[in-house]
Amino acid sequence: MYYIVYGMAQDESDEPGSPEKWEVQLRKGSLELAILASLWGQKLYGLEILRQLENGSDLIVSEGTVYPLLSRLKALGLLRSEWVESDAGHPRKYYSLTPLGKQRASDMARSWTRFSASLNSLLVPLGKEK
């Protein structure tokens, strides 16, 4: 019984399964980095972050996922937030990177670049073979 449950828990989170599922996992996994990157050097509120992610990337962005994720990143000390009154008639919650958030964003970006460069070199033969 233990192995069945444990296996299922692993399956949902780790196993790539079909190519489509693998792509979804890949995009989901990049969401944290994309959020940290969108806040680099600027303050944005939730809806602006969502629009930036939708326009600037090919990520699958679910609104119901991004807000809890922002809250989790804040709890991890990577983001800070402040309420700012707006002309729209309601206050907006702006997020910005903390020093720790900046450090982690650049670490993750470096790691991402290194990883994709090494993977790309492995993929070169696939592009040549028709």
Partner 1 sequence: MTIASDSQRKIDTYLRRLRQGLRGVREEDARDIVEELRSHIVEKAAAGGEVTTERLESVLTVLGSPEVLASQYVTDDLLAQAESSRAPWMILRGVFHWAMLSVSGCLVCLVCTVGYMLGGAFFLAALIKPFNPKVGLWKIGPDNYSLALGMTDFRPQGHELLGWLLIPIGLCVGGGTVLLTSYVALGSIRKFRQSRKLRLNPRS
Site for partner 1, rule CB under 8 A: 1-2, 5-6, 8-14, 32, 45-47, 62-65, 67-68, 71-73, 76, 83, 88-93, 104, 107-108, 110-111
Shortest CB 101 distance to partner 1, Å: 10
In the complex, least distance from residue 18 CB atom to partner 1, rounded to whole angstroms? 16
The alpha-helical segments, DSSP class H, found in 1-130 are: 2-13, 19-29, 31-38, 46-56, 63-75, 99-128
Q: From the CB of 127, what's the least distance to partner 1, in Å?
A: 27
SS3 95: strand
User: What interhelical angle do 46-56 and 31-38 show, nearest 10?
Assistant: 110
Comparing CB distances to partner 1, the nearer of 8 and 123 is 8
Sign, CA torsion 7/8/13/15: positive
Shortest distance, position 100 Cβ to partner 1, whole Å: 9
The kind and range of the H/E element at 82 are: strand 79-84
Would you say 21 or 110 has its CB closer to partner 1?
A: 110
Q: Kindly tell me which of 14 and 129 has the beta carbon lying closer to partner 1.
A: 14
